[in-house]
Amino acid sequence: MEDAFLVRPAARGDLPAIDRIYNDAIRETTATWDEEPWPIARREAWWAEHTADPTTPVLVAEVADEVVGFAYLSWYRPKSGYRFTREDTVYIDPPWHGKGLGRALLSRLVAHAEAVELHTLLAFIDATNTASIRLHASLGFDVIGTEREVGYKFGRWLDATAMQLLLPRGRSRPAKVASPGPGY
């Protein structure tokens, strides 16, 4: 199946598909704890933030010229001491779950993080999302804890499983990564 899809850097023209996939996850799942769909203007602002920083790439998975998944890295926290850490995010259209797209996207994010000499990748996953937890574990992420009842959606409290990957290239010396800009 892996040769039937393409993973590539996202382009501005992919934003409607990214928005559609994410908004579906908002309405139907606890993969995101957003509760209201994003308007395209918010997605445009998100895009501007990510494309301005080479350490926060956005990737898409494409099948037959249709975007069916996306993934990206985000700043973990705005304080400069966290400048070598990013959080990963992966979303796949439900009909494409379990077909290797998530693994391909996350693998590319890990490779990118290593290339730009980040030190740590983190993931905060709804504790009931065992597929995402297994995916991250299969790529070397360790469970580092559970944040109990930190989210609330669909009338119930949600736990987050925290996972971490220490990157080999980022361990030996600090990366040449800029701090987040003012207002982050």
Asked if the structure places residue 29 within a domain, the reply is yes
What's the domain count of the chain? 1
181 part of a folded domain: no
What local confidence, expressed as pLDDT, does residue 2 receive? Answer: 46
pLDDT at 174 over 90: no
Q: Specify if 182 maps to a domain.
A: no
Q: How far is CA 22 from CA 25, 82, 88, in A?
A: 5, 26, 15
- 35 occurs within a structural domain: yes
177, part of any domain: no
- Residue 10, token pair as written in the block: 């996202």
In a domain, 63, yes or no: yes
DSSP letters of 126-170? ETT-HHHHHHHHHTT-EEEEEEEEEEEETTEEEEEEEEEEE-HHH
Question: Taking phi first (over 0 means left), then psi (-120 to 50 degrees means alpha), and beta for anything else, what does residue 65 get?
Answer: left
Q: Tell me if 37 is assigned to some domain.
A: yes
What CATH number is associated with residue 162? 3.40.630.30
180: in domain: no
Candidate ranges 56-60, 79-83, 115-119; pick with highest mean pLDDT: 56-60
Using DSSP, state whether 49 is helix, strand or coil.
Answer: helix
> What's the confidence (pLDDT) of residue 60?
98
Dist. CA 161–CA 175, nearest whole Å = 27
Read off the tokens for 142: 């360790």
73-77, 115-119, 169-173: least confidently modelled range = 169-173
Instruction: Pick the range with the lowest mean pLDDT from 1-10, 102-111, 146-155.
Output: 1-10
Domain around 131: 2-172
Q: Is the pLDDT of residue 3 over 80?
A: no
